[in-house]
Amino acid sequence: METDEAQRVLPFQLQFDKPLASQIKIAEWNPEKDLLAMVTEDSKILLHRFNWQRLWTISPARSISSLCWRPDGKAIAVGLEDGTVSLHDVENGKLLRSLKSHSVAVVSLNWEEDGHTTRDEHGSISTYEDRTSRFFPPPPRVPRMPGLVSGDTGFIDDSEDSFQELSNSSQQRFNILCSGDKDGVICFSIFGIFPIGKINIHNFCVPNPLTDAKAECRLLNASVCKVALSKDLCHLIVTCSGELTDDREESESRRVTQHGIHGLHCMVLDTSIFWKRKNELHQVAQQASNIEELVEVIRASLSVMHKQWSDAMHTFHEKFDSLSNLIVDHGLDSCPQEEFLSLLGGARTSPPVHQFLVNSLGEVGVKRVSKAVCGAGKELQLIVLNHLQPAAEIIAFRMGELRGLSRWRARYQGIGLDETLINNATEKAGMILLQVERFIRVLSTVVQQFSNFFNWLLKCIKLLMSEPSDHHLLLYNSELVVIFLKFLYDQDPVKQLLEASEADHHIDIGLETMQRVKELVQFGGFSDFGYLQRTLAKESQQMESSFKEAFLMPFTTISRKILCKDLLPLCPLPPLSSSLSTTIPVSVSYYEDASQSVSSCQSEHLFLDYISFQIPDESLSGIANCIGIVKGFMHDSSSVNKGYTSLEAVLLGVPAGYYCMDLSLYKESQIVLLLNETTAASESSGDASMMIVQTDDLPFVSISRSTGLNYWTLHQLKDSVVHLEMENEKVRNIPHSIVAPLAVSSSRGVACVFAARKRALVYILDEDEDEVSDAE
């Protein structure tokens, strides 16, 4: 009975204590489901249910540096050391899409969605309907045929349902995926698949809030630690390590020697363009991202068709090229076409032709080559009808939709939707439709010619071998045989249309036809009247280039409108300590602040930012083994302009005998600390503790911003450190030495900690949420 009573007074209930095959370096709870994603030291991704049932394991074959969930929990974003961000399906871990937005390791990911219903100027709920499904069946997928390797293009070709989930379901509510790398570059993508902005924090030169002089400051050698987009999408808080300096030429020679400039800093970026223009961005991103998916279908279809046809033509030439050698061996100066024409005209069969047809080729050889060529022709026709043509038609429709939007200049010119570029891209989309139509006609004609030629050869072989004629043998047309031998035997118009070479191969078009095409321009025809002289592959390349140019304009426009509002030095770091900065526990969260009024960004002041971080020992004199919490930084710059400061901070002293391994803001006004004993003989021995601190009870102090550049904000709190006591807080002892990370789920009220001896411990943080284990 006493044991049961002691168990009930424990603040957190231990749900599981499970062994691990490998140590965990990253862990994140799914925001909507009882799922935990973990990354091992050897960069494998594990997905477990709350009951610790493993759902799947994947290995990207590259080192993983960051992880985050899509807000609806149906996809997971993975940042890699090579700068790639890949998206995976929660159901099976399949690769959905990958973007190479960075050149170095992606160290932080944050995926936030617009949590507010959009209303128009009349107060009605504003929604955007994608009309494509009214007129077209579901879009085609990348053809599953030889010649296309899964994953090579950034798409997966064997999970249609998963990909449709990514491209459709995620677009029901506007969301932004932010990614930051070691070089200080931050990228933004709508729905995680359409790049819409890119900034480098080194390029920001902002008014220096730390000095009374009219000076500016910037960061040098900065590396991103954490990015966190506000819930209203209006602000992005970035914690980073770097060297803060005055943006003045005279400071260039002395900034390296100036004491205390290198450290951990916090920036707030103005991303209100995402909120102000979310309707326009939603529409453009949905159309453009679907167009890019369909462009990939076209690109892959052309690649598959080129390989299929090239293989068939290789089989044809492998057999028929031997006839040329036989003609030379017999001392004749004719060519294969002339020999075949003589045979067709009723002349006596020459020895090389007789030897070739009877001995080298034979009936079996003709049928094998015919099957290869005609079979490839049918495969290409299926690819065109099921993949290439539907993709081109839907692209043309979606470009027409974008063209209509671009003409609404008052709304869409501000986000970079350029009418001229969109018109050009729309014309290219129309040209590809005509190219596809021409390719269908050429392919059909060529396949028919080959089939007729092979039927004639079979007839000849039967006669030469004095075999009875096969009644099932298809008839042939002598005139078509003549045309084939003159124009197709040693030429390949199908391959020419599919060839994507660097050299410009012009297709011969009659002068009369070209003149008619030019005349059509004044009646609304294509302004680029040379499209008939280009191949299908070349037209596809030009279409892609026009799309990239048109979609780059919104990307560039939005990038320029993301500005730095404020910069706050947090604490100094040892010089060149970029590796240390990545291990400093940092947490950034936004909570509703009902005391604030609605602003121009509608909901921006309804959220209050909390930034918590561990202060490295010896970084600030008089401050050791402490944790800093700063709140209100997001709105402090506007407050300073009005004559007061909204920035508040507090320093927490870690209990004696412990040091902080990791921390996480949890729910409203709570912070979870993961503490290890300092008296342990080794990293894997000793005990640990998990502590929850109520931030509402902490004596936050208003922070002055009028000091010099080399003065650290939290240094003024060194005499008012709040020392935490184990007996005064909610604490749970952990009978293991623990390591980072700490994975906390605010929605589920659970935390997962990892022991140094490869164990995972799951705790229920809320006493009223003991039913979490039954929710599965």
Using H for helix, E for strand and C for coil, what is the string for 226-276?
EEEECCCCCEEEEEEEEEEEECCHHHCCCCCCCCCCEEEEEEEEECHHHHH
Q: Is the pLDDT of residue 6 over 80?
A: no
Q: Is the pLDDT of residue 618 over 80?
A: no
What is the distance between the alpha carbons of residues 709 and 262, in angstroms, rounded to a whole number? 11
Under the banding of pLDDT at 50, 70 and 90, the label for residue 300 is: very high
What was the pLDDT predicted at 80? 96
Q: In this predicted model, what pLDDT tens digit does every residue of 148-175 receive, in sequence order? A: 344 434 344 444 444 555 555 445 689 9
What was the pLDDT predicted at 347? 78
76-80, 264-268, 290-294, 718-722: lowest mean pLDDT where? Answer: 718-722
Q: What is the mean pLDDT of the chain?
A: 82
What was the pLDDT predicted at 61? 84
**Of 122 and 71, the one with more pLDDT:** 71
Under the banding of pLDDT at 50, 70 and 90, the label for residue 348 is: confident
What is the distance between the alpha carbons of residues 620 and 631, in angstroms, rounded to a whole number? 20
**DSSP secondary structure code for residue 11 in this structure:** S
Q: In this predicted model, what pLDDT tens digit does every residue of 99-153 receive, in sequence order? A: 999 999 999 999 999 876 555 555 544 556 788 888 888 888 888 755 434 443 4
Percent of the chain, pLDDT > 90?
49
Model pTM?
0.85
Measured CA distances, 770 to 29, 50, 103, 732, 750 (Å): 18, 13, 45, 16, 10
Mean pLDDT of 724-728: 87
Measured CA distances, 579 to 223, 364, 574, 663 (Å): 10, 69, 11, 19
What is the distance between the alpha carbons of residues 571 and 567, in angstroms, rounded to a whole number? 13
What was the pLDDT predicted at 573? 82
Q: Is the pLDDT of residue 527 over 70?
A: no
Q: In this predicted model, what pLDDT tens digit does every residue of 596-609 receive, in sequence order? A: 544 445 544 578 88
Nearest to 475 by CA among 456, 488, 494: 456
Exposure class string for 310-340: b at 16+ Cβ within 10 A, else e: bebbebbeebbebbbebbeeeeeebebbebb
Residue 747 contacts residue 661 (beta carbons within 8 Å) = no
What was the pLDDT predicted at 598? 47
Helix (H) or strand (E) holding 36: strand 35-40
What was the pLDDT predicted at 621? 75
Q: Is the pLDDT of residue 739 over 80?
A: yes
Give the position of tokens 């005998």: 657
- Would you tell me the crossing angle of helices 419-464 and 362-383 to the nearest 10 degrees? 160
- Amino acid letter for position 479: E
